[in-house]
Amino acid sequence: MSGLTSWVPEGLDLDRPSGARIYDYLLGGAHNFAHDRELAEKFLVAQPNAREIARLNRAFLRRVVLFMMANGIRQFLDLGSGIPTVGNVHEIAQQADPETRVVYVDYEDVAVAHSELMLDGDERARMVQADLTRPSDVLDHPISRMLLDFTEPVGLLMVGVFHFVAPEKDPNGIVKTYADTLVPGSYLGFSQFTADMMPAEMARVVEVMSRSRDPMYPRSRAEITELFDGFDIAPPGIVATSEWRPESPTDTSDDPRRAGIYAGAGRKR
């Protein structure tokens, strides 16, 4: 990004690359800095298919939001929402129903600052700066309590973020805490990197990201399936992003194994 604009937070450590800004760069965004781009280029060397992986994951986000809306969801909690790019949850959802409410959650300063700028004036979409691994900070936040009615079904989104949650953080416990807050009929939409596909490339990516503020922890299909405890997983199950209910040729890949990320959705019992 050339030049610092007014939305860049004061005191931001530009020398520490972040996962959110690297993802922004891979998607072709402009809200990243020199050290992010430098590490992102190393990411691309480790995983040459990274831009395609990012695009397919972003396309999954759109489809899973519309899938949830088709099943009655009109409020969303988007954890690890990252830096806004075209096709954010509130844009997708409010186009289908302008009354839909969305709470975004991220702890990355640039993601929060730019989200707040983008959402200024939208009373039905707000940003919460919090660490998703501390569910009470998210669920008890005044914005979450103001916008989301937890007596009604909620669409919980963990899209392209859980690979940043370390095993020692008790990932199953984190998901369960959120799930316990949701009423039956709520949905979970989930995607994350796996070493089941392209294991050599994934090992190199893990090594590259160990130099950032956001190390990565790929998970197997079995481990991801466990996170859906208490949810009925919707067909086609936990699959590559390109295989999850594709709607057009741009949603697919010549080789699903090159998608690099598992995706799925489930309805709370």
One pLDDT digit (tens) per residue for the chain, 269 residues? 444 455 555 655 566 787 778 888 888 887 788 888 998 899 999 999 899 999 999 999 999 999 999 999 999 999 999 877 767 999 999 999 999 999 999 998 878 888 888 898 899 999 999 999 999 999 999 999 999 999 999 999 999 999 999 999 999 999 999 999 999 999 999 999 999 999 999 999 999 999 888 899 999 999 999 999 999 999 999 999 999 999 988 788 878 888 999 999 999 99
**Which is nearest to 102 in space by CA: 31, 157, 159, 29?**
157
Could you give the 3-state DSSP secondary structure of residue 48? coil
221-238 burial code (b ≥16 CB/10 A, e <16): bebbbebbeebebbeebb
Q: What is the pLDDT of residue 144?
A: 98
**Total Cβ atoms within 10 A of residue 8:** 17
The pTM assigned to this predicted structure is 0.91
CA-wise closest residue to 78 among 7, 144, 173, 150: 144
The pLDDT value given to residue 253: 81
Q: What is the DSSP letter of 234?
A: P
Which positions ≥6 away from 216 have C-beta within 8 Å? 19, 163, 164, 193, 205, 206, 209
In this predicted structure, what is the pLDDT of residue 3? 44
Residue 2: predicted pLDDT = 40
pLDDT score of 33: 83
Q: How far apart are CA 60 and CA 167, in angstroms?
A: 25
- CATH C-level class of 53-198+214-268: alpha beta
Token pair for 179: 């799930």
